A and B are shown apart, each in its own frame.
Chain A
Amino acid sequence: MPDSRGKLDRNLVAPAREIVKLERRLFLKQGLSLGALSLLSGCDVTDSDAVQKVLWKMSRWNDGVQAAIFNSGKLAQEYPESAITKPFPFNAFYAESEAPRVDAATYKLELGGLIRDKAPWTLDKLYALPQSSQVTRHICVEGWSAIGKWGGVTFKTFLERVGADMTAKYVGFKCADDYYTSIDMPTALHPQTLLTFKFADNILPVAYGFPMKLRIPTKLGFKNPKHITAIFATNDYPGGYWEDQGYNWFSGS
Chain B
Amino acid sequence: MTVQTGTTVAGDGKILVHPLMVRITHWINVLAMLTMIFSGWRIYNASPIFNFKFPADLTLGGWLGGALQWHFAAMWVLALNGIAYLLYGLFAGHFKSNFLPLTPRSVFNEFTNALRGKIAHEVGVYNAVQRAAYVGVICLIVILVLSGLVIWKSVQFQELGALMGGYEGARILHFFAMTLIVLFIIVHVVMVALVPRTFLPMLTGHARTTSHGHGG
Binding site for B on A (CB under 8 A): 23-24, 27-32, 34-36, 39, 54-56, 58-59, 62, 66, 69-71, 74-77, 137, 139-145, 217-218, 242, 245-248, 252-253
Instruction: Name B60's contact: one of A35, A75, A252 (CB within 8 Å).
Output: A35
B60 and A143 contact, CB distance less than 8 A: no
Binding site for A on B (CB under 8 A): 31, 34-35, 38-39, 42-44, 46-47, 49, 56-57, 59-70, 72-73, 76, 153-156, 158, 166-168, 171
A141 and B156 contact, CB distance less than 8 A: no
Q: Please give, as numbers and ranges, the residues of chain A lying within 8 Å of B60 by CB-CB distance.
A: 31, 35-36, 39
8 contacts between A and B (CB under 8 A): A23-B63, A32-B62, A55-B69, A55-B70, A75-B155, A246-B68, A247-B65, A253-B154
Given A139-B154, A142-B46, A28 and B73 contact (CB-CB distance below 8 Å) = no
Once the chains are docked, how many angstroms separate the CA of A39 from the CA of B61? 11
A74 and B156 contact, CB distance less than 8 A: yes
Q: Please give, as numbers and ranges, the residues of chain B lying within 8 Å of A29 by CB-CB distance.
A: 62
Q: Please give, as numbers and ranges, the residues of chain A lying within 8 Å of B73 by CB-CB distance.
A: 54-55, 58-59
B62 and A74 contact, CB distance less than 8 A: no
SS class, residues of chain B in contact with chain A? helix
Given A58-B76, A242-B65, A246-B66, A35 and B156 contact (CB-CB distance below 8 Å) = no
Once the chains are docked, how many angstroms separate the CA of A62 from the CA of B69? 10
Q: Please give, as numbers and ranges, the residues of chain A lying within 8 Å of B46 by CB-CB distance.
A: 141-143
B66 and A27 contact, CB distance less than 8 A: yes
Q: Which residue of A lies closest to B63 (CB)?
A: A27
Instruction: Name B64's contact: one of A35, A69, A71, A141 (CB within 8 Å).
Output: A141
A143 and B44 contact, CB distance less than 8 A: yes
Given A30-B56, A31-B61, A31-B67, 6 new contacts (CB under 8 A): A29-B62, A71-B156, A242-B65, A245-B65, A248-B68, A248-B72
Q: Please give, as numbers and ranges, the residues of chain A lying within 8 Å of B69 by CB-CB distance.
A: 55-56, 58-59, 246, 248
Once the chains are docked, how many angstroms separate the CA of A140 from the CA of B62? 19
Q: Which residue of A lies closest to B34 (CB)?
A: A39
**Nearest 3 interchain pairs by C-beta:** A31-B62, A246-B65, A35-B60
